[in-house]
């Protein structure tokens, strides 16, 4: 079984699905001859040509608007927004048009648009190339929000997303694009949306995370375990739909929760997780829910490592929560 990184897994998924389904098209800035700024679409232009791998102007609203039109006429577009920070010009198209087509048409018009975009910090991109805007989209009915943490899930989740009939915001953690490597089956397989994964089994604290933060939390758990603590790590994989069953089952077992994400703490996705747990498993909690997140500031360039939740910060939260 080949060992791939996330970029290679995404490329493999796109190539496989474009071969399988002639309706699938890729479009975005530099995705064609150049192969994408992170090389995720490398080689697709040579195999499928300019009609299916389309270089667009630097106009995010136009990219997503065009993709919506393609979907309504029977295609399955996979537009790329080069950095999640630049998705905001297309925000109106996404939340006011794309997310509402199935609802406003009574289900007559599907909207199978999968918007791929790299998100998060860790590459010294500064405040215009490091944001984590997942909560904006998780707040929008009609969208699915998917965030893989490793190559196996990246390929399987992307294939599931493209084969669905709903719009998907597919956010890729660029900090671990090449650092996260693993065995990825050749050929076809899918990972279902809405199903979390228990990365590490434990009995003392439930640690909720997604994307690049999964790797941070694994390192934090190892640090905490060396001191006798026993955290359980859950990789959410999809924020919408959310696998509440797996989360609540773990919380009822451990009685304690730590949530980690890169986005700012205020109104970050961790707040929704904490509220859901408090509503549905309050009597199982034996300690306050802890959130380890980015700070409520623009993403800093020179203080990037201080801003990002570190293994030490997460490990400290695990130990404090477990000892409460």
DSSP conformation class of 238: E
DSSP conformation class of 142: T
Two tokens at 178? 């090449």
Q: What is the pLDDT of residues 163-196, one digit of tens each?
A: 999 999 999 999 999 999 999 999 999 999 999 9
The overall average pLDDT reported for the chain is 97
Cα dist from 302 to 127, 154, 177, 311, whole Å? 10, 30, 22, 19
Residue keyed to tokens 């390929």: 155
The predicted pLDDT at position 310 comes to 97
Residues pairing with 233 in the sheet: 200, 207
Nearest in space to 9 (alpha carbons), one of 197, 184, 193, 210:
184
Mean pLDDT of 272-289: 98
| Percentage above 70 pLDDT, the chain | 100
Predicted confidence (pLDDT) at residue 1 exceeds the cutoff of 90: no
The predicted pLDDT at position 107 comes to 87
Predicted confidence (pLDDT) at residue 114 exceeds the cutoff of 90: yes
Model pTM score: 0.97
Q: What is the pLDDT of residues 251-261, one digit of tens each?
A: 999 999 999 99
The predicted pLDDT at position 314 comes to 98
Radius of gyration for the chain, computed over Cα atoms and rounded to the nearest angstrom: 19
Q: What is the pLDDT of residues 203-255, one digit of tens each?
A: 999 999 999 999 999 999 999 999 999 999 999 999 999 999 999 999 999 99
Mean pLDDT of 97-101: 96
Q: For the chain, which domains are there?
A: 3-183 (3.40.50.970), 197-322 (3.40.50.920)
Vertex 42: Cα angle to 37 and 48 (nearest 5): 130
The predicted pLDDT at position 221 comes to 97
Q: What is the pLDDT of residues 21-66, one digit of tens each?
A: 999 999 999 999 999 999 999 999 999 999 999 999 999 999 999 9
Cα dist from 143 to 23, 150, 203, whole Å? 21, 22, 34
Predicted confidence (pLDDT) at residue 125 exceeds the cutoff of 90: no
Q: What is the pLDDT of residues 127-145, one digit of tens each?
A: 899 999 999 999 999 999 9
Give catalytic residues, as residue numbers. Answer: 129
């Amino acid at each position: 079984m080949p060992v791939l990184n996330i970029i290679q897994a995404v490329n493999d998924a796109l190539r496989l699905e474009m071969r399988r389904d002639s309706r699938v098209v890729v479009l975005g800035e530099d995705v064609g001859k150049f192969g994408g700024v992170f090389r995720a679409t490398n080689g697709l232009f040579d195999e499928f040509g300019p009609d299916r791998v389309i270089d667009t102007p630097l106009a995010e609203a136009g990219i997503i608007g065009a993709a919506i039109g393609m979907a309504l006429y029977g295609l399955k577009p996979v537009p790329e927004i080069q950095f999640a920070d630049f998705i905001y010009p297309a925000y109106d198209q996404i939340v006011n048009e794309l997310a509402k087509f199935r609802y406003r048409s009574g289900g007559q018009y599907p909207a199978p648009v999968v918007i791929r975009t790299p998100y998060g910090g860790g590459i010294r991109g500064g405040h215009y190339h490091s944001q984590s805007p997942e909560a904006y989209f998780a707040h929008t009915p009609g969208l699915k929000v998917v965030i893989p943490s490793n190559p196996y899930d990246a390929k399987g989740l992307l294939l599931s997303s493209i084969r669905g009939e709903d719009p998907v915001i597919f956010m890729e953690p660029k900090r671990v694009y090449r650092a996260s490597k693993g065995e990825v089956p050749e050929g076809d397989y899918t990972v279902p949306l809405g199903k979390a994964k228990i990365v590490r089994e434990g009995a003392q604290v439930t640690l909720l995370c997604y994307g690049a933060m999964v790797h941070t939390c694994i390192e934090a758990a190892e640090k905490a375990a060396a001191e006798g603590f026993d955290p359980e790590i859950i990789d959410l994989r999809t924020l919408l739909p959310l696998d509440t069953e797996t989360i609540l089952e773990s919380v009822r077992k451990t009685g304690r929760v730590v949530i980690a994400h890169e986005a700012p703490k205020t109104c970050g996705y961790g707040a929704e997780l904490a509220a859901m747990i408090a509503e549905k498993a309050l009597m199982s909690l034996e300690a306050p829910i802890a959130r380890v997140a980015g700070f409520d500031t623009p993403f800093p360039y020179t203080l990037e490592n201080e801003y990002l939740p570190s293994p030490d910060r997460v490990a400290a939260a695990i130990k404090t929560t477990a000892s409460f």
